[in-house]
Structure 1
Amino acid sequence: MTGVLQVEDVKSLQQAFNALQAGQAVTAERMLRAMAAPLRNHPDALYIFASARRAQGDMAGARMAFEAALKGGATNPQLWNAYGNHLHDMGDGAAAIAALQRAVAVQPRYAEGWINLAIVATDQMQFGIAEEALDQAARIAPQDDRILHVQGAMAQAQDRPEAVAAAYRALLVRKPSDLRACYNLATALRASDDRASALEAIERAIDGGLDIAPALTLRAHILAEMGRFDEAVAQYQAALRRYPDHVDAQDTLARLLPQIGRAAEAFDAFDLAIEQQPRHIQLLLAGIRVAMDIRDHDRALGLIDRAQPMLDDPDQLSVVRIRALGLAGRHGDAIDLARTLAAADPARAGLQANLAQLLLAQGDPDEALSHALLATRHAPLDQTGWALLTVIWRLLEDEREHWLAGYDHYVRDLDIGTPDGWSNQSAFLVDLRESLERLHVTTAHPADQTLRGGTQTRGDLFDRRRCPVIMALKRQLHRCTQSALADLPNQPGHPLLDRRTGDIQFSGSWSVRLRENGRHVPHIHPQGWISSAFYVALPNDVPAEHRSGEGTILFGVPDDALNLTALPPRRVIQPQAGRLVLFPSYLWHGTAPFSGPQSRLTIAFDALPA
C-alpha cells in the first residue's frame, strides 16, 4: 500500500507514533502488527515499525524495515534521512553517506538532511562532502545552531583548534547560554595552547551550571598545565567527590601527586572510590594500570584479584598479573603462570614477551629465544620482543644481533643546524631553554617514567602551538629525522628499515630536566618506532672529552630487571648541545649520571611512519 491514506488510517498510525514518542516501543509495534496488511505495509507504517525495532535494540531488524519502507517511499527525504542516520549508528558510514545524499537529492532544500550528511561525512573523514553539506545547510537555514556545532566538530577532526574555537565563539555570540558550547570552546582553546582563555571558558560553563564530570575535570587539567598545582589537586578532588568513578580524574590525579611531592596521597581517591563502588570494573582496571605504572606492584596484584572474577574473559588480566608478579620478585609464580598460558595460546604476543623476559632474568636465553621470536611474529610493531632479541642474540653470540641492533648504523648523532628565524644555533638554544624552563613546574619525576632525579614536562610538548621556538624546533627535527631515515639502506623484514614510508609523524614529545646525579635508567619505547634525545643545555663543568663519561647516553645495557647490569654498553655517545641522537625504539638506552649543580635539559620524541 503506497497510495493516499484514509483518515482512519492516519489516526491509527498517529496513535502508534505517539506511543513510540512516549517511549512505548513495544506498544507501538503491537499496534502496527494489529493493523491490516495493506496499512501495515505502507511506508509510513514501516518507518514507525523500523523506529520501534531500533528503540528495542534490534538494529538489523530496523534496517530491514527501513529498506522495506524505502521500496514504496523512495521519494520521501525524511525516510532516507532516518535510514542514513540508522546506518551511521550501525557503523556503516559509506552506506549512511549514500543514503543521506539520496535524501538531499530528493529534496535539495532539506536542511536536516544536509546537516546530518555533514555530521556523518565528518565522522568518516570525508571533509570535502562535509564542507559542501555545511555550505548548503547554511544557505537554507543560516540560523540553525547545529551548523556551527558541526563546523567545530569538523575542524576538531582536522586538528585545527583555532578554527574549532572560532566556531564555538560564533555560536556563543548567537547563544550565550549554550554551556556545551562553552565546554567545547574550552577544549579547543586548551588544544591551541591558550590555557588562560580555556580556563575562563570552562569556568563560565561550570558557573553557568554545567555539572558534568568532564567539565570539572577539564578545569583541573588546565590548572595543572598552568602550574597551579594546589588549585588543580583541589579541583580533581572536588570532581571526584561529585563523580568518584570518573576514571580520567582518578588517573590524572594519581599520576600528578608524585610529581609535586605528594606521592603518599597518590591512591587516596582511588581507594575511597573503590571502597564505595567495589564492583566498578572500569575503576578497578584504571587502578591496576596506575598501580603498575607507579610501581606499586603489590597493590596492583590485590586489585587484579578483585577485578578478575568480574570479567567475562578470565585471562584478560593474565599478562599484567605476570608482569606484576615478576616485578614484585615472585619470579617462580610468574614463570609458571606464563608457561601455562603461553602454551594454551601461543599467539598472545604479550604473554610470549613477558615469559621471554622472565626467562632471560633467570639466566636462560636459550628458552627465552623462542618466546621472543613468537612475540615479534604476532606483534611485529610492538618493540618489546625486538628489544629482548637484541639481548638474547648478544648473549648467544648470534650474528643476528648486529642485523637487528646495528648500533654503528642505526644510532645517528646529528647536528640539527639553525632553524629559520634565528641567526645562529646558540641564540636559538638560549631561547629554547628559556621556554622550556617555564614548562618545568613540577618538583619530582613522574612515577611511571624512567628518569631519576629530575622533572618532565606535562602533556605533549609539540602541542605548544603558541610557542614559536618549540614549533620551530618541531619543524627542524621533522626535517632532520626524515633525512636521516632516507639515508638508511633497504632491508625487507627489518623492524626499523622495512617500515619506512618517506615521512614520519610524531607520536609523543616531552622535555626532561635532570638535576645533579640525575639519570635515565635503561629502557625502551614499546609503542615507538624511532626515538630520540635532543640536547638543549648541558652543565658547563661536564668535560667535552670522554674521560669522565658523565651524562653519556649508553646503548645496549638492558633494564635492571633482566639482571644483566654487568653487560657493557654497545655504543656510548657524549652529549653536545644542539645535537640530536636518533635510534630505533627497541634499543635499550639509558644515561650515566653527572655531577655538578647545574641541570641538563633535553627534549625527546617518539615518531612513527606517516
Structure 2
Amino acid sequence: MDSQPANRNLMDWLQQAMTLHQQGRLDRADELYAQVLDTEQDNRQALRLRGILARQRVDFDLSIQLLQRLGQLAPQNPVSANELALTYLATGELYAAELALREVIQAGHASCQALANLGAILQRRGHLDEAATQYAACLEFDPDDLEVRCNYANALMEAGHGDQALSEIDAALLRTPGHPLILANKGAVLCGLDEFAAAIEVLEASIDVAPFDDMALINLAYARRRCGDAAGAADALQVAVRVNPANARAVADLANTEMQLGYSASALQRCTDFLAKYPGERLVLTAYIYALADTGQCDKSAAIQGLEELVTIFDGAPPDGYADIESFNRCLADYVVAHPSLITNPARKSTTGGMQTGELNPAEDRIIEAFAELINAAVHDAVESWRRQGFNDHPVMAYAADHWTLRIWGTMLGSGGHQSPHTHPLGWLSGVYYVQLPDDMQVDEPRAGALEFGRPAAQFYFSADPKLRCIVPAEGRLVLFPSYCYHRTLDFVAEGKRISIAFDVVPLSR
C-alpha cells in the first residue's frame, strides 16, 4: 500500500526534473534527479538523465559513475553504452569511448546510434576503412540518415576512395535534392580531392540555403583561396567569424588571408583579441606568431615559437623490458609495418610518398604501451625543465596539465617521400620518434630526411623570412615540441624505409 504514493512521488519528481532539464534549469533538475536516486538508487531513467545532465555541467566523473551503473543494470542496452561513450568523448578519452561501444555491439545489441558513434570515433582515430564499415552497417538500419551518409562519404574520401565518396553524396542528393547538409559535405569532399572550382559551386549553393553554416563558409574560403581569390576567401571568412566568433579555424584562416591581402596589422589585432579570450589556442597562436613577424616584431615571434628553447631532443635508454634500443626499435618497426590501418598517401594528411597508420592504442599491445611510457617520461622531464627555466607564463603552458591522453600513429616513407609543413592543432605538445632510417639516407646530403621547424605550409601566407631549426634524425631519438609549431620532413633519396612514430599529448578534461 505504501509503495503507491512513493511511486507517484518518483514519477512526479522525474517529470519535474525532465521539464526543468529541458528549460536549462540544470541545478534544480539535478536536485530532483538526485532525490529520485536517493529513494530508488537503481532507477534507470534517473541514472541516464542525471548522467547526461552531469556531462552537460562538465562533471564528467559523476556522469561516468552514473552511466557505468546504468550499464551494469542494463548491459544489453545500447543507449547506456552510447551515453557513456559520449561522456568519454567529451573528456578526450577516445579509447574508453570506443571500448564502451564495442562491448555492446559485439554482444549483438547494436543500434544505429552506437554504430554511428563508433564510426565517428574510428574516423577521428584514423581507422578509416573500419569507420566506413561501421557507417555502412548503420545505414542498413536507417538508409535516410543524412548525417551518417555524409560521414560515410568523408571517411571514404579520407581513405582514398574518392569516387565512391562522391557516389554516396550524389545518391543522398537524389533522395533529398538541394539539402544544405549534403551540399556542404559534397563541397568538403571535393576540397579533399583538390577539385576546388567544383567545390566552390557546390558550397555557394549550400550557403544560399543555410547561410549560417560556419564550416561550409570556411571550406568555401579555402577553395576560393586555392583558386586565387583571396578577397573572396576573406569575405566568406568574415561571415564565418560573425556567425561563430569562437571558431578558431575561421579566425586563424581570416588572419592569414588578411596577411596575404596586405593587412598584417589587422591580422595581428584579430589574433590578439581572440587569444585574450582563449589563451594558447593552437590554430590562432600559429597565425599570431607569423603575424608578429610580418609586422616587424620578429623577436617576440621567435620567443613564442620557441624553436631553440622548447623543441627538445631526447636520446635515451629503452623502456623497461627491452635489452637495448635496437631490439625496442625492431619491435616497433614490425608493429607499424604490419598494422592493418596503414594507408598510402592518406587524404587530408601531410604524408606524401609513404604510408600512415591510424592511431595506435597502447592498451592493444605491450610495445605501444612501452612506447607510451617513453613519451610520458619525456613530457614530464621537458615540462619540469621549462618550469625551472621560467616558462610558466609562456603560451605553451596555457594547456599544461597533470593528466593527458596520447594520440600515436606511425609513418613509413620511401625514397622521395616527405611530410609537408603542418601543425597539430588538437595537441598541447607533439613529437616524433625515429624507429628505423635507411643506412644511405644522408650519404650525399647531411640534412636529407631531416625534421625542419618554422617553415609554414604553402597555402599559409608569410612575407618575412621564417626562423628555422633543422634536426637530423637518429634511430632512438625522440623530439618533443609545442603542437602549434610548423614542421616538415625534408626529401631523401635512399634504399629502405624511414619509419617514425608521431604523437600528440592531449590534456584530459577530468
By the TM > 0.5 criterion, same fold? yes
Q: 1:379 to 1:456 in 2, by over 3 A?
A: same
Counterpart of 2:103, as a letter, is A
Q: 2:165 matched to 1:266?
A: yes
Match 2:331 to one of 415, 431, 453? 431
Distance in structure 1 (CA, Å) of the matches to 2:318 and 2:382: 17
- 1:549-577 deviations in Å (ceiling 9; x for gaps): 11101111111124659946610001112
What fraction of aligned residue pairs are identical, expressed as a percent? 21
2:452 aligned partner: 554
Q: Unaligned 5+ residue runs, structure 2?
A: none
Contact kept in structure 1, 2:433 and 2:502, CA below 8 Å = yes
Q: 1:368 to 1:404 in 2, by over 3 A?
A: same
Match 1:302 to one of 194, 201, 214? 201
Distance in structure 1 (CA, Å) of the matches to 2:64 and 2:216: 42
Match 1:401 to one of 261, 280, 301? 301
2:477 aligned partner: 579
Q: 2:502 matched to 1:599?
A: no
Deviation, 1:517, is 0.8
Deviation, 1:420, is 2.0
Q: 1:583 to 1:89 in 2, by over 3 A?
A: same
Q: 2:422 matched to 1:523?
A: yes
**Aligned ranges 1:452-471 → 2 under 5 Å:** 452-458=352-358, 460-461=359-360, 463-471=361-369
**Aligned ranges 1:135-284 → 2 under 5 Å:** 145=74, 156=85, 157=87, 187-188=102-103, 201=106, 212=112, 215=115, 243=143, 245-257=145-157, 259-260=159-160, 262-284=161-183
How large is the RMSD of aligned CA atoms in angstroms?
Answer: 4.5
Q: 1:291 to 1:528 in 2, by over 3 A?
A: farther
| SS of match in other structure, 1:417 | coil
Distance in structure 2 (CA, Å) of the matches to 1:606 and 1:586: 11
Counterpart of 1:585, as a letter, is S
Match 2:287 to one of 388, 397, 406? 388
Q: 2:35 matched to 1:102?
A: yes
Deviation, 1:527, is 3.3
Deviation, 1:273, is 1.2
Q: 1:252 to 1:430 in 2, by over 3 A?
A: farther
TM-score, normalised to structure 1, is: 0.67
Deviation, 1:505, is 1.6
TM-score, normalised to structure 2, is: 0.79
Counterpart of 2:17, as a letter, is G
Counterpart of 1:435, as a letter, is Y
1:49 aligned partner: none
Distance in structure 2 (CA, Å) of the matches to 1:290 and 1:513: 25
Distance in structure 2 (CA, Å) of the matches to 1:129 and 1:405: 38
| Higher radius of gyration, 1 or 2 | 1
| SS of match in other structure, 2:198 | helix
2:313 aligned partner: 413
Counterpart of 2:335, as a letter, is S
**Aligned ranges 1:330-349 → 2 under 5 Å:** 330-335=229-234
Q: 1:237 to 1:134 in 2, by over 3 A?
A: closer
Q: 1:117 to 1:362 in 2, by over 3 A?
A: closer
Counterpart of 1:526, as a letter, is P
Deviation, 1:303, is 2.5
Match 1:286 to one of 174, 181, 185? 185
Distance in structure 2 (CA, Å) of the matches to 1:215 and 1:498: 36
Counterpart of 2:394, as a letter, is H
Q: Unaligned 5+ residue runs, structure 1?
A: 1-43, 45-71, 166-183, 190-197
- 1:16-72 deviations in Å (ceiling 9; x for gaps): xxxxxxxxxxxxxxxxxxxxxxxxxxxx9xxxxxxxxxxxxxxxxxxxxxxxxxxx9
Deviation, 1:131, is 6.0
Contact kept in structure 2, 1:530 and 1:585, CA below 8 Å = yes
Match 1:512 to one of 398, 401, 411? 411
Aligned pair count? Answer: 490
Match 2:15 to one of 77, 82, 88? 82
Structure with higher RCO (Cα < 8 A, 6+ apart)? 2
